Amino acid sequence: MSSDQDHLQQTDTEERFDFKKDSEAAYAAEKGLTEDTIHAISDDKDEPDWMRERRLRALKQFQAMPMPTDWPGQPDLSEVEIDEIVPYIRPDIDTRGGVEDWTDLPDDIKDTFDKLGIPEAEKNALSGVGAQYESEVVYQNMRERWEDKGVVFMNMDQAVQEHPELVKEHFMTDCVPPSDNKFAALHGAIWSGGSFVYVPEDVTVDMPVQAYFRMNSEGMGQFEHTLIIAEEGSEVHYIEGCSAPKYSAFNLHSGGVEVYVGENAHVQYSTVQNWSKNTYNLNTKRALVEQEGRMEWISGSMGSKATMLYPSTVLKGRGASDNHITIAFAGEGQDIDTGAKVYHNAPDTKSTIESKSISKDGGRTNYRGLVHIADGAENSSTAVECDALMFDNESTSDTMPYMEINESKVDVAHEATVGKIGDEDIFYLQTRGLDDDDAKQMIVSGFIEPITEELPIEYAVELNRLVELEMEGSLG
Confidence check: pLDDT of 468 > 90: no
Average pLDDT over residues 265-282: 87
CA distance 346 to 312: 16
Q: Hey, which of 15-19, 341-345, 394-398 has the most confident mean pLDDT? A: 341-345
For residue 302, CA distances in Å to 11, 169, 184, 273, 298 come to: 17, 34, 22, 6, 13
Average pLDDT over residues 269-293: 90
**Predicted structure pTM score:** 0.84
* Per-residue confidence (pLDDT) for residue 17, from 0 to 100: 41
Is-contact 308 400, C-beta < 8 A?
Answer: no
Q: How many domains does the chain have?
A: 1
Q: Hey, which of 61-65, 148-152, 207-211 has the most confident mean pLDDT? A: 61-65
Listed range (210-224, 246-260, 316-330, 349-363) with the worst mean pLDDT: 210-224
Tell me the per-residue pLDDT of 414-425, one tens digit each, with 9 for 90 and over. 988 777 666 666
State the residue range of the domain holding 230: 3-472
Vertex 323 angle, CA 376 and 208, to 5°: 135
Vertex 273 angle, CA 271 and 274, to 5°: 165
Q: Hey, which of 108-122, 139-153, 346-360 has the most confident mean pLDDT? A: 346-360
Confidence check: pLDDT of 297 > 70: yes
Listed range (33-37, 123-127, 239-243, 278-282) with the worst mean pLDDT: 123-127
Average pLDDT over residues 461-469: 65
- What average pLDDT is seen over the chain? 81
Q: Hey, which of 94-108, 115-129, 161-175, 261-275 has the most confident mean pLDDT? A: 161-175
Q: Biggest alpha carbon distance in the chain?
A: 69
